[in-house]
Amino acid sequence: MADAKAVATPSTDSSPNADALTIGSYTLTSRLMVGSSGYPNPQVMLDAIDASGADMVTVAIRRVNVENPAPESHLDLLRKGGHTILPNTAGCYTAREAVLVANLAREALDTDLIKLEVIGDDEMLMPDVEQLLKAAKTLVDDGFTVLAYANDDPITCRKLADLGCAAVMPLGAPIGSGMGIVNPYNLRIIREELPDTPLIVDAGIGTASDAAQAMELGYDGILLNTAIAEAKHPVDMARAIRHGLEGGRLAYRAGRIPRRRYAKASSPQQGRVGS
């Protein structure tokens, strides 16, 4: 089983990657996870992933031949680049389908990682909660490290965490929409309800400011694909989102000032002229 890149930075370092992200037995130096589909060509994909700094790259198992990947296939290129492959169950509509795809990925790729997606329909691409929970229980019981894509619903997310998912991944907005964080209120509640569960915003991120907002809400990371792959300049967007994420993480760790209804002078009032 391939391990993610280990963090060598001392814990006293205040750089954005100094606080590692741990998911199950995997330690990541980057809190940005990216997809591998929809790029203009394989070289742009590789350059964009490199610019993003991502350790972990997700691959849709139903779209690739994992048993006999062709030379220079996306999967082969990613492996050569030393990336940790996160297989996903995109395109599955039932728990049974998702479990079958996950087992295929584990056997072919020698990994216990799985990004679990169980979709309700082709139009909205929203999770089918009933099937998602059923699949999550089966896969966790089967020894998988499950990263579960979910609605931005605190109850569903809590149930996934209680089932033992290694990470819960509530959506920021519908897949591929680029709408950003449409319901920060719910995402904030999920963070408060699950303080000890790795939480990743998955889907809906459109640009660097969306990434910063997600991290400022206290999320542990972001997974995205379309925002980079379909940008006018994917490599530049990958770099921008990386910086947005790192800035948001640093801001969260620094602790923002409280919002106030009225002004508060930053200069001391004592010693003013005429006082």
Q: What angle do CA 12, 18, 24 make, to 5 degrees?
A: 120
176 is in an annotated binding site: yes
In this structure, how many other beta carbons lie within 10 angstroms of the beta carbon of residue 149?
27
Question: Is position 180 annotated in a ligand binding site?
Answer: no
41 assigned ligand-binding residue: no
Q: Is 203 annotated as a binding residue?
A: yes
As a whole number of Å, the CA-based R_g of the chain is: 20
Q: What separation, in Å, do the N-terminal and C-terminal C-alpha atoms of the chain show?
A: 71
- Say if residue 226 carries a ligand binding annotation: yes
Active-site residues, by number, are: 115
DSSP sequence for the chain: -PPPPPP-S-TT--STTSS-EEETTEEES-SEEEE--S-SSHHHHHHHHHHHT-SEEEEEGGGS-SSSPPTT-HHHHHHHTTPEEEEE-TT--SHHHHHHHHHHHHHHH---EEEE--BS-TTT--B-HHHHHHHHHHHHHTT-EEEEEE-S-HHHHHHHHHHT-SEEEE-SSSTT-----S-HHHHHHHHHH-TTS-BEEES---SHHHHHHHHHTT-SEEEESHHHHTSSSHHHHHHHHHHHHHHHHHHHHH-PPPP-SS---SS-STT-TT-
Binding site membership: which residues? Answer: 176, 203-204, 225-226
- Provide the annotated binding site for 1-deoxy-D-xylulose 5-phosphate: 176, 203-204, 225-226
